[in-house]
Structure 1
């Protein structure tokens, strides 16, 4: 495992002592897609943005799916393990502090961020996830300890891809394991709503990463 195992963008912090935001893009995007999100969430933070290694008909993803909305959970687990190992390499290569590393993602990337929390507690200190659902579909996550982990979940009540039930289930799974979860819902669908982004930015600022 090496830091160049994933094509990625690294932008050092522009503010002294700023945290690092790990950005995980959605299906069909790449390592550049969420850089504006990272800058909006945490101005001055360092940004680490890798590209998913699954090719689905020319679209980048983080793990395979069997069809729309149905994940290949075994593949998700294996690839999340690989991503977690890469994050450890990136922490060493870029001299990062795990206590100040926050993952943020949209859709497929948000589901992967949720899987990181549930499968590899401690690899990041927090998460701001948008359009995320319970990633292990039908499997109960292990009873890991997420106490001290701060999580923001932004979800659309009318989302046809990540249903609000799945989003709320993720929130419950994280809270049951001790995470401090802030859930914000908007009336729209599979999108990052501007008002939810504004709430996430306030949450990030107040969380003290």
Structure 2
């Protein structure tokens, strides 16, 4: 009798980049996932497209197919490592609990997206994908980027944390003595990779930094 089980491979990670400041975190995250040969299901909001243009020298096409081709060429990766989905691509794997990945990172996460996910709005694919991860009791990581935080923001974060989401404010540490903005970006991305159980050497874990100092 032929086996109905699929062969094991690295599970994909869904990455959503929304319109908060700090798109560098999301860009660096997918770069690290590609380097680790982890498949990525990518979604980029319309607001994030504007922020990418504003905060970086990157120019990402709005069309999902064109964006996939751009990133495949930029990072010189196998096209099988990346799928890019549009705002209303309801037939994509991330839209259903029967096929959605077990891990999703919203990086950065705008407070608008935070609010929509907290109330289950599902008005676009990013919101629906997050809703799927929550209902299936999988891992949802939300890199919230806002300052200061209102009661609404804090209440939404508490609500989602109680549902099992991991709330990670974009708050780089300084005990590794960063020398550049890239070092601070890497600190945050390294913590995300730790949450995803993906080995990283960008930032030593605490104890390994100071253990051998006089």
Give the TM-score of the pair, scaled to structure 1. 0.44
Q: Which has the higher strand share?
A: 1
Bigger Rg, which one: 2
Q: Which has the higher helix share?
A: 2
